[in-house]
Structure 1
Amino acid sequence: MVSSFLPSSSSIRKKSKKTRIYLDSLPEDLLVEISSCTGASSLSAVRNLRIVSKSFRRICDERYVFYRLSLKEIDYPPWHQNSEIFFERCRKSGNPEALYQKGFINYFRDDLKHEGLEYLAEAAEKGNREAKYVYGLILICLGDKTKQKGFKILSSVIKPLMPTTMEEMVELRYKIKKIRDSVLWPDNPVMERLKTVYVREKCQCDCKTRMLLVRNHGWYRYGDDTDMNISSACEFCLLHHEVELFLR
């Protein structure tokens, strides 16, 4: 019979208990690193890790693990109180994704521009690419002393993507559009004010980049109809193009 080739339930329990003992005997800093690396890749994996042992359950609740948690599997903004509490805990732990989302909501939906910019700036400093993109765009729109800083921040996002293809750029736009569409209604007053104050300076390039961007003006992709390499395009025009796409 097939069952004769399967281990008994008692042997499985013994093996599981032995595995748990081995895990609990690992150094705590190693358990923290395992938990944080797991959390950075998948939130559902952390949920599974919590049931492995008491040590993992305790460590998965530590601030450092919440700081590194990936929030990609959760819709934002949260619609349930438990989800809202969870996001707030991530934010207080300095989680870059939570800071970015909080900043976006504060700035555009709640019209708390000062607080929103602070959260976006903090998330950008921690390396969150979406936060850099949005923070840079806002600074460019506001003009005056912040404009050059905005160009520098947005360039740090776009320039690394220019040498090869724009697939990553398209993916980044999609992520930003997703949160924008989920929290902003048409004719959002904050967005309308940014459109009003935004000024595009004339560029001294040969206009080839501008012509390319006119032909490929969609939010999601540049398109296949191109006679030039993106890596040779005018960076100034590309940066302004991103601003105009976002404000559209």
Structure 2
Amino acid sequence: MGEDASVNNYDIISIGDSASSNDDHSNSDRTNYFRNISLSYFAAQPTEMLSKHLEFKELCFESGNPEAHYIEGILQLFVKEDEQAGLYHLRQSSDGGYIDGTYLYGLSLLAVERFHKGQKYLDKLGWKESRSTSDQCWERVKKSLTDIPYFMNQGYYIARANLETLCGCRSRKRRGRVCNHGYYYERLNQFVEFAMSKNN
């Protein structure tokens, strides 16, 4: 699509219309377009989709765009405080292959004391072999959550304390590696500390 088809006025040009008489759009697929369109701008600033760009967001949902589910998961969980809807959208994001959605879904499950399932999703990022993927996910997730007002929940403190209890090593290294519960505690602690900092 041309420069005029921005996020703000994407509907000006009908999907499938030719921007040039020389272009062949015979294989154009509206669903595929909205499923794969990058929403990185909105992922970094999710509140932009809270009340604006609603039709655009719906088109992305209908097409199964995992990044759209990630954004909606953040809005539902941390702005509207709808845990069920928030976790649903984050799972859709993860199941759609969006790794930041996988990370935040796993982390959010830890924060509501669904430890086993949260660990299962965080394990998908291969942290036992290398932490680089999960570290990068956390940096992007932090950027997404920076756009959200204070979202600390009392339950997060309780989840952190209970997960720490499960971790006998309290995140200390054993034989050069952090034990399993130590890794999950470390990640939840990062999240809780970040959430707390939003109130300062």
The question of a shared fold, defined as TM-score above 0.5 by the shorter chain, is answered with yes
Q: How many residues align?
A: 175
Gaps of 5+ in 1: 1-34, 36-42, 213-226
Letter in 1 for 2:179: C
In structure 1, the residue matched to 2:198 is none
Q: TM-score, normalised by structure 2?
A: 0.71
Partner of 1:203: 167
Look up the SS of the partner of 1:194 in the other structure: helix
Shift of 1:170: 2.9
- Residues 213-238 of structure 1 show CA distances to partners (whole Å, capped at 9, x for unaligned) of xxxxxxxxxxxxxx94xxx4423211
Residue deviations 1:154-210, cap 9 Å, x none? 1212xx24434x44333211110111110132xx25x333223441234355x7x52
- Alignment of structure 1 residues 98-109 onto 2, 5 Å: 98-109=68-79
> 1:20-59 maps to which residues of 2 (within 5 A)?
51-52=19-20, 55-56=24-25, 59=28
Q: Deviations over 1:114-145 (max 9, x none)?
A: 111111111122222122212212222322xx
Answer with 1 or 2: which has the greater Rg. Answer: 1
Task: Give distance in 2, aligned partners of 1:68 and 1:59.
Answer: 13
Aligned to 2:53, the other structure's residue is in SS state helix
* Letter aligned with residue 170 of structure 1: D
| Cα 1:81/1:138, change in 2 over 3 Å | closer
Structure richer in helix, relative to its length: 1
Report the counterpart of residue 102 of structure 2 in structure 1: 132
Pairwise CA RMSD: 3.3
Structure 1 position 72 matched with structure 2 position 17:
no
Conserved in 2, the CA contact under 8 Å of 1:138 and 1:194? no
1:1-248 equivalence runs, <5 A:
51-52=19-20, 55-56=24-25, 59=28, 62-74=30-42, 75-78=45-48, 83-143=53-113, 146-157=114-125, 160-164=126-130, 166-185=131-150, 188-189=151-152, 191-198=153-160, 199-200=162-163, 201-204=165-168, 210=172, 228=176, 232-248=177-193
Task: Provide the rounded CA distance (Å) in 2 between the counterparts of 1:155 and 1:203.
Answer: 17
Q: Please give the alpha-carbon distance, in whole angstroms, between the structure 2 residues aligned to 1:137 and 1:59.
A: 37
Contact 1:155 1:239 in 2 (8 A): no
Distance in 1, matches of 2:49 and 2:118, equals 32
How high is the sequence identity, in percent, across the aligned residues?
21
Structure 2: runs of 5 or more not aligned: 2-6, 8-12, 194-200
In structure 1, how many angstroms separate the alpha carbons of the residues matched to 2:184 and 2:25?
A: 45
Determine which structure has greater relative contact order: mean sequence separation of CA pairs < 8 Å that are 6+ residues apart, divided by chain length: 2
Q: What is the Cα deviation at residue 241 of structure 1? A: 0.5
